[in-house]
Amino acid sequence: MKLKSKFITHETGKESLLIPTGGAGFSGLVKGNKTLGAILELLKEDTTEEKIIAALAERFDAPVDKIASDVKKALSELKNIGAIEE
Amino acid sequence: MKIKLAEKIIEIEHLFTYIEEYCRDYITADSGKSDFSIFITKDDIEYERERSRKEDMAEGIKVREFNDDYLETLAVYRKISEKMPDFDTILFHGSAVAVDGEGFLFTAKSGTGKSTHTRLWRVRFGDRAVMVNDDKPLIKICEDGSAVVYGTPWDGKHRLSNNISVPLKALCILKRGETNEIAEITKQKAYPMLLQQVYRPRDPVSMKKTMELLERLNVNLAELKCNMSPEAAEVSYTFMKG
């Protein structure tokens, strides 16, 4: 799975944003902390939920089950707004 | 037809004549090279028709049917707005008024009262106030973050605009309130509204550039809660003038 090209990412320095282009069919805004930023960055290439969890576990000092839960939740929200192509 | 919009010469190949009347104050006889050209096709007209239908349905109002020549005006502005980020310029949904040569832009969801508020400014300031554009001005964001706001023919249902440009002094998010209160707002807090009100290109590269321009924008940002009394204009002007 990866991020659809109709969604772009943007870092403001304080937050990570996922913004739909005009043709994306979604008019909201997704924002989050650096965890979201890391997930979005990984989703720019074709990847899997397991690979994302593994990459974040290496990068962040947090329990793996917490990371897995955060990733699962983020992916679910991204799929709900149509931002992911399988 | 060639028009000059936000200092750019744009060649427009159109299907109907209505757009010439619509843009008459911006038509240029400049024989020099255009900065870019746009071409309108029947598919572009149908795209606007479908988009308009979906927006009406999403807002829960009766679907309005528009003529092809009116839809062409929407198609023209859309194509122009897709291209303008290349020139550091964005389309922004808001009512822009100039007082003593300085621009003040009010933005809000449709129906909140942007035009009503800038009308209060025109009453308050008389000849000192000039409407730049009551609906969809263009804003150029300079390298240093300062901005210039431009009149365009796409100026709302009351057709309020002038073919002028002024430096943008401040941008204000408008909300309805019991009393008139205004305060500074951070770019971070303003982002959701800025993103909602800026034209978001379909092209991802152009969209990315739009985000960079919003990031670069460095003008006073404010949030105003107001009740549309004449006092509201005094409150907002005094704060935004700085």
Q: Are the C-beta atoms of residues B172 and B236 closer than 8 Å to each other? A: yes
Q: Chain B partners of A19 at a C-beta cutoff of 8 Å?
A: 195, 200, 207, 211
d(Cα B74, Cα B178) in Å, to the nearest integer?
36
Tell me: pLDDT of B55 over 90: no
Q: Do A19 and B215 touch (CB under 8 A)?
A: no
Pairing label, strands B2-5, B102-107: unpaired
> b/e map of A43-66 (b: 16 or more CB within 10 Å)?
beeeeeeeebbebbbeeeeeeeee
Tell me: pLDDT of B140 over 80: yes
Return the closest-CA partner of residue B127 out of B162, B168, B158. Answer: B162
Predicted confidence (pLDDT) per residue in B155-198, tens digit: 998 999 999 999 999 999 999 999 999 999 999 899 889 999 99
Q: Do A29 and B201 touch (CB under 8 A)?
A: no
Q: Band of the pLDDT at A26, cuts 50, 70, 90?
A: confident
Angle at B22 between CA B21 and CA B27, to 5 degrees: 75
Tell me: pLDDT of B136 over 80: yes
**DSSP annotation string for B146-199:** -EEEE--S--TTTT-B-S-EEEEEEEEEEEE-SS-EEEE--HHHHHHHHHHHB-
- The model carries a pTM of 0.92
* Nearest residue in B to A12, CA atom: B215
Give me chain B's average pLDDT, please. 95
Q: Are the C-beta atoms of residues B207 and B195 closer than 8 Å to each other? A: no
pLDDT, average across residues B67-74 = 97
Q: What's residue A25's pLDDT?
A: 80
The distance in angstroms from the start CA to the end CA of chain A is 4
Q: Are the C-beta atoms of residues B172 and B222 closer than 8 Å to each other? A: yes
Tell me: pLDDT of B78 over 80: yes
Q: Do A19 and B203 touch (CB under 8 A)?
A: no
> Alpha-carbon dihedral of residues B104, B110, B115, B120, nearest 10 degrees?
-90
Which amino acid type is present at position B180? N
Q: Are the C-beta atoms of residues B10 and B37 closer than 8 Å to each other? A: yes
ipTM of the complex as predicted: 0.83
Helices B42-58 + B68-83 axis angle, to 10: 90
Q: Do A21 and B201 touch (CB under 8 A)?
A: yes
Nearest chain B Cα distance for residue A32, angstroms: 12
**Of the candidate ranges A24-28, B62-66, B78-82, B203-207, the one whose mean pLDDT is the lowest:** A24-28
pLDDT, average across residues B33-50 = 96
Beta-bridged to residue B168, according to DSSP, are B103
